[in-house]
A and B are shown apart, each in its own frame.
Chain A
Amino acid sequence: MLKTKTSSATDLESVDYLKERYKVYKAMLLDLLAGADSPTQSTVLTLAMRLVKEETSQDVRHAEQAWKTGVFAELVKSLIVHTACGPAREEFVEKFVEEYDDVRFYTFYTISNFLSRTDIADKPRADATGNALNLLSSIEGIPDSQDQLEDWYGETSHQPKHQLLSLTQHKKRAQEAWLAVLRSELSKDQRKNVLAIMSSRVTPWFSQVELLMDFLTDSYNFGGATSLLALSGLFYLMQEKNLDYPQFFQKLYSLLDHDLLHSKHRSRFFRLLDTFMSSTHLPAALVASFIKRLSRLALLAPPGAIVVVLPWIYNMLKKHPTCTFMIHREIRDPAARKRLEEEGMSDPFNMLEEDPMATRAIDSCLWEIEILQGHYHPNVATLAKIISEQFTKRNYNLEDFLDHSYAGLIDAELGKELKKAPVVEFEIPKRIFTTEEGRLDRLGSLLSNAIGGS
């Protein structure tokens, strides 16, 4: 549009002038993007993209140059840098990135290019990373085959070997962009978000999944829910890509903390745990540690978690009969029995020991399960009884016990019709809240405290 070689001086002058004006216009436009409200942002985006269209509708070489350095690159950069332009970012992804393959291609290019620059300060970089992550994770349409690359925003006359026509190249760009994001410092929440969408939005772009190894290992070492989320990815790498993770089980054991059974990723973890522990060649001491620790945790767990732990323990005991000493231990040595009578038995299991091979859980007993047999919820109590009945069932399908919650348990009962009259306590108490003297008793004072009245 504005390029010439053999023109007169005045023409050149005017071209320079126009270029200058164009530059100023672009800058103003993109500045507007940062601060304005969403309708303005939308307008700006549309205008900018029109400019992009103009710039890229030249011959191939110039077009590529325009994509990489022109108004498009500027636009993407400002979308990433400014946190405030969230609506514009969304619109950009929705209207352009998802629609046009070349837009997506060069978006990836620009992002990876920008994030790998080293001259950015920490704060803007963190913002940029977050925004880039935001942008990348909202991209849904991942092409499966070469044939799907057919929507172009700019010039369409590519020669057959052009990189825009190659699926591998597309994937490579995306992979680079993702790696650039993942290499930067991510906050805990960002990490969790990435891990949550890992299988659906991230790994499909990767032709070499191994590249995610560092990220996953770091996340796994992070601890808490992040570790839980990283577990599946890591397991995939170990299984398929021969990743060697030293002390995997020790790490896994350390994940069994007090929050695990209350976490919302509980069922996800148990699915994986079931897979990890499915081998019959695991040392009994290790399995016993897992069993003992989980039953210890179940002591304070909600019913939804207890009903997962119990069948899991059953399956483990069935698979590792050596561990059944934990539920049935007969002391045959008379001296030891006498000592037991006199001194009782303290639990040899060490909850603080981090190495699952050294907890001495195998010498302990599952007293925790016994008390759970008197759980206040009838279904849980009944389920806990399976441990003390004969092990005639081969195994329980763990999947059936996952995903139970308080709400489900209550609804299951309240959802039913009241078919017959409930039993009523036969004795009508004389006093409930008050004592003989007319004062409040304990229940009454608790209630009045709780209600906040009187």
Chain B
Amino acid sequence: MPPSQLKALKTSLREKGITAPSKSRKDKKNGPPTTTSGRDRATALAKIRTEMNPYEYRHISSRPAKFPSTSVKGSYKDVLLRRPGVSVSKGEEVRRKQLLPEMRGRLKSGGLVDRRIGEGDGGMGEEERAVARFARERGRNVFDLEGSDEEGGGGGLLTHGGRAIADLEDDDMKLSGDEGGSDEDDGFLVRKRQREDEEDEVVDEQPDVKKSKKEVMTELIAKSKLHKYERQKTKEDDDDLRDKLDAGMADLLPLLRAQVANNLPPPPPPKPVEVDGDVSKINPERQKLLDGMDRGAADREYEKRLRELARDTRAAPSDRTKTAEEKAKDAAEKVKELVIRREKRMRGEAVSDDEEVEHERDDSEEAAVVDEYGNEELGDDAEEFGLASAAVAKVEKVQHVDEDDFDFDADLVASASEADEESASEDDSEVEDDDAAPAAEDNEEDEFISGILGRGANAVPIADPSTKTANTSESLACPRTHADFLALIKDNAVEELELPTLIQRLRSQYLPSLAAENKAKMENFSRVLVEHLVYMAEHDQEMAVMEQVIRHLHSLSRTYAVAIAEALRARLGAWVEGSSSSEGGGGGLGVGKGDLVVLVAIGEIYPTSDHFHQVVTPAFTGVGRWLGLNAGVKGMGGEKGRVGALMVGLCVKWVGGSGRFVPEAVRFTLAALGSRGGAIGEHLENLKGMADLWKEKSAFLEIFSPFVPILRQLGKPARPTLQHLTALLDASRQARKPLMLHHHRPQALRLSNPKFEEGFNPDRHYDPDRERSEAGKLKKEFKREKKGAVRELRKDANFVAREQLRSKRVEDEEHKRRERRLVAEIQSESRN
């Protein structure tokens, strides 16, 4: 509720100091009388009077004072008073000037307009008129022919539409400030608006007397001078302060240095620095230059010093030699980190640069066009899950191998090659522990690494000591193809068991750190080794040797990951196509010895727990396919049963880390046990492995219940497995709960309109539909214009009516007067 008028009056009076609150006597005695002087008092009273008068002033905006901050345009805040009385009289004046002549000349045509200077001006004497006209005539340009009939305006002034440019600009500025600019020719409404604007001009800032222009200017100049002086003053003060600080710097610096390098040998005692005024502040270099030293020499010296500074090696802390415990701790941390990364990959999370894959997916999602019902019509639903038909050639981005992902690999390589270098130079010093190998403390691991490096051949259990001498004596050619390798084996008469030694020698001879081309050679050799692994399996060579070859491949994989992966993938592809030299029958159903060994090697070399892996995933799918297609009951007794046992064993091993589910393995084992073929023991072992692996899963019952009757039928050999399985089944039944997969937070519906706006302004429109808001604006403008026009027309009509009435009255008066005179005349005549 607004305060009452009386209260408002009282408070404003008090604020202006016209009425003071009743003072105590003491105050009255002490303080001088606070009542303002007479003149001030008068102006203050006048101001209060006008403020309190609700009819004299009114707010421009008719909006209630509810949103005082928002409904007002910025700085106009306290100027927002206008005087309706004044503006009415002004409008009246304008009408009189413009409308009245129009009205009077309405029924008249033609006629003369007297534009002579001072003709209609009663205040000008005859003399003055003549002088003005003469001056005008003198000032006119003799050659200005066109300006000849322009007499009323300002002579040489530029005009537009009969008005001086200066006036125009004024108008334009006003318009653009208020309405955003409109043209002169816009017609009545605009003219009317101009008129209104002129009325608005009446709105004034302060009710008191306006200062003259000169006064304002002088005030301005005085102010700016004052500011300038103040600025200079503060600058000088700052300079003084800075000088003082600079002078103290010499004392401060040694202290600072001491603080920074507190663990370095104590700094030399601070040199005495002369702090005697100006000289100390100038750089000695500069001083020299000032003193007249050769400029070129100075530049040269500057350059030299700059270069020295750039080349200067900064002090860096060197790596401290670590203790054994610290090393162990580091190694453990490294392993921990690697395990964490593996687990991340297992869950299918992006480890580092996998975001690219995400982007790709995003792209493909964007590509899918969403129709008006929200269905993706063109997009293949299956593609989202990577199940696009293989025939569709996907456009793939060229991706560069991101080193980041393999930072730890690079680390491994680096440290390995460091170790390599040491040993390759036949240095007998201790081979540094390879912290790449997680169990580096383990002695056997040491042996393995040094074994790879071609030292201490006795560390390799199967290596022949006799090769030790040959090791250093002759050099071997790095085999480019598998045929080369076989020839090499034959030439050197390497026996089967000596093969790892041969590989060691090759590896140490072609270390990538020894020659630039060795890297490519070893890459090639890695491929050859994959081929040789297959060859060995096909020729039934010793398992222990194959094991060593796989381990070599593994360690080579750290450096030549792509080459080995490609070789393995090619081998897999050949198996899947059925074109590999498999002996177990053609088509996809067969599997060769080489394929089996390759599968085993893949499982050893790569992390099989990953959600997706470029080599493991296709290999796993291949295994699944073999198991799926061979799950028929027939022929389980023979080779199929044995190979199947290996395949299921591989599956169990591969999913050991991640606990993934392999339906084909279950199905195959079911068929194998059901058929009572060969290798029952192996299959039972596999079954046990699977049961242990998936015992936590809620569908355990559904998966393994079918085994129970089969195991019962098998009788005695299956009894332990049966007992184990029944126990697990019971436990699973006990632990099983209903599924609850959908504990999701309810999703909010998406709203776009209306939207919550921070700092909402009721005068602004937040309609996101641009067209609609434009239309609204136009509508509003139209309405306002219409209202204005109607009001203006009404005022004009009033004015016209008033004028007519007045002229009529004048006429009537005249008529009466004449009549009276006539009557009087007649009366007087008749009297006579």
Tell me, yes or no, whether B302 is within 8 Å of chain A by CB: no
Chain A residue numbers with a CB within 8 Å of B651 are: 376
Tell me, yes or no, whether B537 is within 8 Å of chain A by CB: yes
**Is the Cβ of B544 less than 8 Å from the Cβ of A434?**
yes
**Cα distance, A385 to B628, chains bound together (Å):** 23
A300's partner among B406, B618, B666, B737 (CB-CB below 8 A) is B666
Chain A residue numbers with a CB within 8 Å of B604 are: 425, 429, 432
Question: Given that A394-B375, A419-B401, A420-B405 are contacting pairs, would A430 and B661 also be in contact in the complex, using a CB cutoff of 8 Å?
Answer: no
Question: Given that A428-B554, A449-B642 are contacting pairs, would A377 and B620 also be in contact in the complex, using a CB cutoff of 8 Å?
Answer: yes
**Is the Cβ of B734 less than 8 Å from the Cβ of A371?**
no
Q: Which residue of chain A lies nearest to B593 when distances are taken between CB atoms in the complex? A: A451
Chain A residue numbers with a CB within 8 Å of B389 are: 403-404, 408
Identify which of residues 401-454 in chain A touch chain B, using a CB-to-CB cut-off of 8 Å. 401, 403-404, 406-434, 438, 440, 442-444, 446-454
Interface residues on A, range: 35 or more
Identify which of residues 635-679 in chain B touch chain A, using a CB-to-CB cut-off of 8 Å. 639, 642-643, 645-646, 649-651, 653-655, 658-664, 666-667, 670, 679
**Cα distance, A432 to B604, chains bound together (Å):** 8
Chain A residue numbers with a CB within 8 Å of B736 are: 344-346, 367
**Cα distance, A190 to B518, chains bound together (Å):** 65
Q: Which residue of chain A lies nearest to B348 when distances are taken between CB atoms in the complex? A: A378
**Is the Cβ of B544 less than 8 Å from the Cβ of A400?**
no
Tell me, yes or no, whether B119 is within 8 Å of chain A by CB: no
B573's partner among A347, A414, A443 (CB-CB below 8 A) is A414
Tell me, yes or no, whether A396 is within 8 Å of chain B by CB: yes
Q: Which residue of chain A lies nearest to B608 when distances are taken between CB atoms in the complex? A: A425
Q: Smallest CB–CB gap between B362 and chain A, Å?
A: 16
A433's partner among B461, B543, B662, B744 (CB-CB below 8 A) is B543
**Is the Cβ of B625 less than 8 Å from the Cβ of A406?**
yes
**Cα distance, A179 to B593, chains bound together (Å):** 54
**Cα distance, A407 to B612, chains bound together (Å):** 17
**Is the Cβ of B621 less than 8 Å from the Cβ of A370?**
no
**Is the Cβ of A424 less than 8 Å from the Cβ of B554?**
yes
Interface of B is mostly: helix
Tell me, yes or no, whether B78 is within 8 Å of chain A by CB: no
Interface residues on B, range: 35 or more
B738's partner among A345, A377, A419 (CB-CB below 8 A) is A345
Q: Smallest CB–CB gap between A34 and chain B, Å?
A: 36
Tell me, yes or no, whether B499 is within 8 Å of chain A by CB: no
CB 8 Å contact bits of A190-205 with B (1 = contact, 0 = none) = 0000000000000000
Q: Which residue of chain A lies nearest to B557 when distances are taken between CB atoms in the complex? A: A424
Tell me, yes or no, whether A251 is within 8 Å of chain B by CB: no
Q: Smallest CB–CB gap between B381 and chain A, Å?
A: 4
Question: Given that A378-B611, A412-B390, A454-B540 are contacting pairs, would A428 and B747 also be in contact in the complex, using a CB cutoff of 8 Å?
Answer: no
A420's partner among B399, B629, B662, B742 (CB-CB below 8 A) is B399
Binding stretch for chain B, among A13-21, A275-283, A301-309? A301-309
Chain A residue numbers with a CB within 8 Å of B460 are: none
Tell me, yes or no, whether A328 is within 8 Å of chain B by CB: yes
Task: With a 10 A CB-CB cut-off, give which of A300, A331, A343, A430 has the most chain B CB atoms.
Answer: A300
Question: Given that A413-B614, A444-B543 are contacting pairs, would A370 and B697 also be in contact in the complex, using a CB cutoff of 8 Å?
Answer: yes
**Cα distance, A424 to B373, chains bound together (Å):** 46
**Cα distance, A326 to B738, chains bound together (Å):** 8
Chain A residue numbers with a CB within 8 Å of B437 are: 427-428
Q: Smallest CB–CB gap between B241 and chain A, Å?
A: 61
Chain B residue numbers with a CB within 8 Å of A381 are: 348, 611, 660
Q: Smallest CB–CB gap between A4 and chain B, Å?
A: 68
**Cα distance, A327 to B742, chains bound together (Å):** 7
A-B CB proximity, top 4 nearest: A453-B540, A406-B625, A421-B561, A388-B741
Q: List 17 A-B contacts (CB under 8 A).
A: A262-B628, A300-B666, A302-B664, A327-B741, A328-B743, A330-B738, A346-B701, A366-B739, A376-B651, A377-B620, A392-B747, A410-B573, A418-B565, A424-B605, A428-B555, A433-B543, A434-B544
Which B residues are within 8 Å of any A CB, using their own CB? 335, 338, 345, 348, 373-375, 380-383, 385-390, 396, 399, 401-402, 405-406, 408-409, 412, 436-439, 444-445, 448, 461, 537, 540, 543-544, 546-547, 550-551, 554-555, 557-558, 561-562, 565-566, 569, 572-573, 576, 588, 593, 596-597, 600, 604-607, 610-615, 617-618, 620-622, 624-625, 628-629, 639, 642-643, 645-646, 649-651, 653-655, 658-664, 666-667, 670, 679, 682, 685, 694, 697-699, 701-703, 732-744, 747
